[in-house]
């Protein structure tokens, strides 16, 4: 590889930001001042091997400190990591949270997604934009769902500097959002995670039982509340025993695809190729989803314990926790929890003195829903654009760094703790025959008590909405998020199980339940969904890259029309939708038409 770096130089601050992550450069080949030794010695060959997987952390380091990524900073980072600048530019421009052009140090991300739109996001945007004009040192950026839907409308301020500062305003008034942007340090504290759990304190809760009960910053408190008993049990059972329990429990993935977890673990564990990796998918960018955030903020040690068990069972010694970039509080809590676990021998060379080595690294996403797709996530960690890979080969065989990898959702992993503590049969007795265990639901929109609910599989949609308290005249419920589908108010008897929703011609997805009363204009909602997919498409394949644009255009054309006037465009939408579903590379393009189709067919959106 013959790299060309041009002659743009980093500023001292940009260099310091990169060096804080990578250490000082060793030679002028890496961007240090030229010394006599450099004249006679060049780092090349294997010595200069790329450290490409540090590209995303490096881009974060610069963006966090400066607020944007200049040519000089990018070139310096490339030199340090042996990455071609064109490729690094391709990566930097892939993520919504990075900018390659100058911008104010503070960016206020204002959510314009479904729950927030219904709660007045448009006014919030207009109001904050009017107040934070040029010269205010802050810019307003319209954002997809920030994962704070239970407190809609939401805004997140990020101020670059050392250290970077963040503040959340939710539910946000214009005043609160402007305060967060202009003085993030003095903005109001966020309410505790338990505020997002309306059932908090209910002793029957399994997954959410510790949220609001334990101190998320204290390992001792976690242990006092049953923490690390599941890991001890795992060591008693041995890896094969753990996989057997997980398989017998009937646990299926909670990330949206509902794949049997035991089978995935078994398939990875049995791969002869080494090393194996464990990846926890904490990217949670599906509009309407915030359950993983609440778990990580309210009970961070449980995820670390669960990842340790998953790593042990599948033969991995390194775990990656891929956390969505818009979750600063979850990041702080998890970093703290990891440090405590390491200090106490619960991570590291010899976990619990059992001779098993395991550690976890957090990788921060940077604003790209597609990075939640499992193979796009691998590319993102490896320092490539977050584009999905074609399958086969599947991750269990060739995943992260081309090695056998288990990837699981946060909620899926946390379920492993009760499986081990109560035993597979007792766990499998919860829920229904095909959908076992407890399930988290993220309820938002027109309800009195939005939040994360835990119910055994099999409760009906009506049961859940009764708990949450439907407000006003219910017009529609979006099940499964933007990739899911709408159902009618007369369909509340649908059982919340994977098989029950499938029979009803819809999907449970990751457990999103968004309620909309009749004040919410459906066509606007559908436009927002179309805009989301158009914005989040990685752009790799034609059906999705262009199809999502054509879908949004058609919805714009019929926004004000019904009946015969809309018929042609609806026919066109169906044709394009069918090809997107059939011919797109990944789940994003394949599901981008689901919600719109269901609104047309089940709700009669344009009749």
Ligand X SMILES: Cc1cc2nc3c(=O)[nH]c(=O)nc-3n(C[C@H](O)[C@H](O)[C@H](O)COP(=O)(O)O)c2cc1C
The 374-413 site mask, x for binding ligand SF4 (CB under 6 A), equals --------------x-------------------------
- Part of the chain binding ligand FES (CB under 6 A), chosen from 3-11, 67-75, 108-116, 353-361: 108-116
Nearer to ligand FES, 88 or 440 (CB): 440
What are the two backbone dihedrals, phi and then psi, of residue 238, each rounded to the nearest 5 degrees? 80, 160
**In whole angstroms, what is the distance from residue 468 CA to residue 473 CA?**
14
**In whole angstroms, what is the distance from residue 447 CA to residue 492 CA?**
15
- Part of the chain binding ligand FES (CB under 6 A), chosen from 140-148, 213-221, 501-509, 520-528: 140-148
List 51, 329, 557, 602, residue binding other proteins (CB under 8 A)? 557
DSSP bridge pairs for 110: 142, 155
The 476-515 site mask, x for binding other proteins (CB under 8 A), equals ----------------------------------------
3-class SS of residue 252: strand
Q: Does 64 bind ligand FES (CB under 6 A)?
A: no
The region that residue 250 occupies, defined by phi over 0 for left and psi between -120 and 50 for alpha, beta otherwise, is: left
Torsion, Cα of 590, 596, 601, 607 (10° steps):
-150
List 256, 386, 445, 484, residue binding ligand X (CB under 6 A)? 256
Strand 438-445 with 451-456, pairing: antiparallel
539 binds, among ligand X, ligand SF4, ligand FES, none (CB under 5 to 8 A by kind): ligand SF4
Q: What does the DSSP assignment read for 580-605?
A: HHHH-SSHHHHHTTHHHHHHHHTT-T
Judge contact between 346 and 307, C-beta under 8 A.
no
Nearby residues of 158 by Cβ (< 8 Å), 6 or more positions away: 97, 106, 107, 109, 164, 165, 166, 328
Q: Which of residues 111-130 bind ligand FES (CB under 6 A)?
A: 111, 113-116
Q: Which residues of 374-387 are buried (b: 16+ CB within 10 A; e: fewer)?
A: bbbbbbbbebbbbb
Nearby residues of 180 by Cβ (< 8 Å), 6 or more positions away: 108, 155, 156, 157, 167, 168, 169, 172, 187
Q: Does 2 bind other proteins (CB under 8 A)?
A: yes
Q: Does 545 bind ligand SF4 (CB under 6 A)?
A: yes
6 binds, among other proteins, ligand SF4, ligand X, none (CB under 5 to 8 A by kind): other proteins
287 binds, among ligand X, ligand FES, ligand SF4, none (CB under 5 to 8 A by kind): ligand FES
**In whole angstroms, what is the distance from residue 394 CA to residue 375 CA?**
9
Nearer to other proteins, 329 or 581 (CB): 581
Instruction: Provide the minimum distance between the beta carbon of 388 and ligand SF4 in the complex, in angstroms, as a whole number.
Output: 4
Judge contact between 481 and 257, C-beta under 8 A.
no
Strand 474-479 with 451-456, pairing: unpaired
- Part of the chain binding ligand SF4 (CB under 6 A), chosen from 68-76, 432-440, 474-482, 582-590: 582-590
538 binds, among other proteins, ligand FES, ligand X, none (CB under 5 to 8 A by kind): other proteins
List 70, 340, 501, 584, residue binding ligand SF4 (CB under 6 A)? 584
Instruction: Provide the minimum distance between the beta carbon of 356 and ligand FES in the complex, in angstroms, as a whole number.
Output: 39
Q: Does 283 bind ligand X (CB under 6 A)?
A: yes
Nearer to ligand FES, 8 or 390 (CB): 390
Nearer to other proteins, 98 or 358 (CB): 98
**In whole angstroms, what is the distance from residue 249 CA to residue 425 CA?**
6
List 64, 374, 454, 491, residue binding ligand X (CB under 6 A)? 374
Instruction: Provide the minimum distance between the beta carbon of 442 and ligand FES in the complex, in angstroms, as a whole number.
Output: 9
Torsion, Cα of 263, 267, 268, 273 (10° steps):
180
Binding site for ligand FES (CB under 6 A): 111, 113-116, 145-149, 152, 154, 287
Binding site for ligand X (CB under 6 A): 253-257, 259, 261, 281, 283-286, 369-370, 372-374, 407-409, 412, 586-588
């Amino acid at each position: 590889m013959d790299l060309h770096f041009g002659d743009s130089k980093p500023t001292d601050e940009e260099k310091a930001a990169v060096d804080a992550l990578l250490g000082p450069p060793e030679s002028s080949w890496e961007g240090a001042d030229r010394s006599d030794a450099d004249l006679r010695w060049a780092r090349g060959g294997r010595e200069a091997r790329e450290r490409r997987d540090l590209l995303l952390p490096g881009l974060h380091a610069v963006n966090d400190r400066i607020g944007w990524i200049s040519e000089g900073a990018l070139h310096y980072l490339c030199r340090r990591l042996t990455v071609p600048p064109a490729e690094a530019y391709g990566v930097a421009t892939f993520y919504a949270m990075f900018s390659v052009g100058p911008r104010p140090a503070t960016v206020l991300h204002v959510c314009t997604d479904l729950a927030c739109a219904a709660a007045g996001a448009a006014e919030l945007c207009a109001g904050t934009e009017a107040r934070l004009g040029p010269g205010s040192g802050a810019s307003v950026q319209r954002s997809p769902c920030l994962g704070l839907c239970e407190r809609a409308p939401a805004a997140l301020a990020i101020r670059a500097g050392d250290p970077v500062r963040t503040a959340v305003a939710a539910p946000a008034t214009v005043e609160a959002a402007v305060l967060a942007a202009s003085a993030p340090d003095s903005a109001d504290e966020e309410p505790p995670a338990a505020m997002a759990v309306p059932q908090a304190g209910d002793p029957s809760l399994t997954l959410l039982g510790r949220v609001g009960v334990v101190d998320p910053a204290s390992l001792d408190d976690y242990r006092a509340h049953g923490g690390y008993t599941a890991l001890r049990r795992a060591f008693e059972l041995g890896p094969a025993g753990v996989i057997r329990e997980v398989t017998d429990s009937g646990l299926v993935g909670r990330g949206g695809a509902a794949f049997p977890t035991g089978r995935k673990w078994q398939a990875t564990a049995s791969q002869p190729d080494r090393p194996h990796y464990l990846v926890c998918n904490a990217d949670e960018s599906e509009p309407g989803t915030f359950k993983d955030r609440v778990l990580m903020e309210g009970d961070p040690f449980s995820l670390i314990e669960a990842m340790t068990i998953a790593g042990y069972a599948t033969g991995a010694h390194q775990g990656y926790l891929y956390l969505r970039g818009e979750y600063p509080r979850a990041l702080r809590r998890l970093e703290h929890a990891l440090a405590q676990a390491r200090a106490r021998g619960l991570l590291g060379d010899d976990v619990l003195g059992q001779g098993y080595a395991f550690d976890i690294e957090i990788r921060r996403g940077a604003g790209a829903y597609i990075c939640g797709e499992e193979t796009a996530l691998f590319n993102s960690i490896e320092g490539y654009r977050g584009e999905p890979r074609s399958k086969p080969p599947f991750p269990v065989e060739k995943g992260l760094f081309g090695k056998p990898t288990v990837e699981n959702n946060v909620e899926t992993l946390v379920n492993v703790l009760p499986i081990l503590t109560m035993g597979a049969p007792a766990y499998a007795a919860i829920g229904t025959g095909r959908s076992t265990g407890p399930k988290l639901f993220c309820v938002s929109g027109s309800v009195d008590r939005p939040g994360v609910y835990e119910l055994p599989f099999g409760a009906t949609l009506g049961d859940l909405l009764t708990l949450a308290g439907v407000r006003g005249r219910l017009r529609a419920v979006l099940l499964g998020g933007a990739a899911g589908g709408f159902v009618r108010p007369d369909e509340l008897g649908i059982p919340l199980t994977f098989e029950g929703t499938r029979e009803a011609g819809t999907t449970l997805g990751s457990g999103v339940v968004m309620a909309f009363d009749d004040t919410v204009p459906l066509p606007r909602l559908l436009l927002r969904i179309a805009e989301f997919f158009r914005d989040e498409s990685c752009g790799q394949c034609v059906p999705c890259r262009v199809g999502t644009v054509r879908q949004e255009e058609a919805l714009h054309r019929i926004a004000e029309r019904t009946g015969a006037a809309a018929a042609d465009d609806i026919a066109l939408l169906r044709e394009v939708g069918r090809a997107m579903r059939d011919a797109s590379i990944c789940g994003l393009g394949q599901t981008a038409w689901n919600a719109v189709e269901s609104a047309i067919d089940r709700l009669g959106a344009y009749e």
